[in-house]
Amino acid sequence: MSETLMTISNVSKSFGDVNALRSISLEIKSGEVVGLVGSNGAGKTTLLRLMSGVYKPTSGTVCLDDGTPVDKMRQRLGVVPESTGLYSRLTAWENIRYHSRMHGVSDKDSWSRTSRFAKHLDMLENLGRHTKGFSRGMRQKTALLRALAHGPSVLLLDEPTAGLDITSARTVRALVKQLRDEGGTIVYSTHHLAEAQQVCDRIIIIHNGDIQADGSPDVLLKDTETTTLEEAYVSLTQEKARPRNDDQDNEGRFTKWWRRLFTPRVPRYIEGDDSSE
């Protein structure tokens, strides 16, 4: 029976008047690829940031297997955010080494893991290059190597193939499957249903801050009596998707004043009014 590595209990997260997540509860077990699927604004990134300890829940808890809150044990997590955040003046290896040292990992151990995975990503010869001139795919691969170098218990990926060419995306997906086959645990956020079906053992559909479904692709198809994951998703998310909030706290009074002052007003067009001509 698989071991539970992370427990999310009755977690809600609000940003001012916006309820990004509402009473989310789930468990992440070892050796599985869990897909977080939903439209923009559904709450996927908010949930990932809670799981990584970047955000603290408004209510509820996010804990690792020993009951420790995730923000107290970030060294057990590997995170690849949507924005890679690499230091452009450093080489790929220097970025990875710096990150590993922050986690207390020796250069020898970090290099051993990095070089091994870099071979699978066809990045070994590029580790000595500065990341400033890297393509989007190379930056994403470097961020993935950085997240793996300290041997995390859980790997959190936020849209890992977004903006990548077909070959790079296939390479990233292949590595995710390899990590799973070796007993690794991955949370894979994506809005591409076909990709989720290819990679994930279990799919969690999030819509407007709530979990609408949680199960294997086959179970979701059976429960919704559909033949494709796209049809299953549509049947489970009938309610109109809310607009994306970008996980921002409400603006302060000064910020609102500043924005109103320097944002040009758009003139209202009145049908039949030719005065502008």
Position 277 in a domain:
no
Per-residue pLDDT band at 269 (split at 50, 70, 90): very low
How far is CA 74 from each of CA 53, 90, 155, 159, rounded to the nearest angstrom? 7, 23, 11, 20
Position 272 in a domain:
no
Position 214 in a domain:
yes
Contact 46, 40 (CB under 8 A): no
Neighbour order of strands in the sheet with 18-29 = 18-29, 4-15, 59-64
Contact 248, 15 (CB under 8 A): yes
**How does DSSP assign 78-143, residue by residue?**
EEE-SS----TTSBHHHHHHHHHHHTT--HHHHHHHHHHHHHHTT-GGGTTSBGGG--HHHHHHHH
Find the helix or strand (DSSP H, E) in which 6 lies. strand 4-15
Q: Domain total for the chain?
A: 1
Please give the residue range of the domain that contains residue 234. Answer: 4-250
Q: pLDDT tens for residues 129-153?
A: 999 989 988 999 999 999 999 999 9
Residue 189's Cβ-side half-sphere holds a number of Cα atoms within 13 Å equal to 23
Q: pLDDT tens for residues 105-137?
A: 999 999 999 999 999 999 999 999 999 989 988
The token pair that represents 93 in the structure block: 């290896």
First to last CA, the chain: 74
- The CATH number that applies at residue 233 is 3.40.50.300
- pLDDT given at position 66: 87
Q: pLDDT tens for residues 25-67?
A: 999 999 999 999 988 888 888 999 999 999 999 999 999 998 9
How many Å apart are CA 190 and CA 216, to the nearest integer? 16
The token pair that represents 203 in the structure block: 């799919």
- pLDDT given at position 1: 59
Q: pLDDT tens for residues 232-260?
A: 989 888 765 555 555 444 555 555 554 55
Pairing of strands 77-80, 186-190: unpaired
10 vs 197, more confident: 10
Q: pLDDT tens for residues 201-234?
A: 999 999 989 999 999 999 999 999 998 888 898 9
Position 32 in a domain:
yes
Q: What is the DSSP letter of 201?
A: S
Best CA proximity match to 29, nearest among 238, 202, 246, 261: 202
- pLDDT given at position 2: 75
- pLDDT given at position 267: 46
Q: pLDDT tens for residues 147-185?
A: 999 999 999 999 898 888 898 899 999 999 999 999 999
Position 257 in a domain:
no
Position 204 in a domain:
yes
Position 154 in a domain:
yes
Position 271 in a domain:
no
Per-residue pLDDT band at 81 (split at 50, 70, 90): confident
Contact 154, 117 (CB under 8 A): no
Instruction: Please indicate, yes or no, whether the overall pTM of this predicted structure exceeds 0.85.
Output: no
The token pair that represents 29 in the structure block: 């077990």
How many Å apart are CA 100 and CA 78, to the nearest integer? 11
Q: What is the DSSP letter of 41?
A: T
264 vs 128, more confident: 128
Q: What is the mean pLDDT of residues 87-91?
A: 93
Packing angle, helices 166-181 and 107-120, rounded to 10? 120
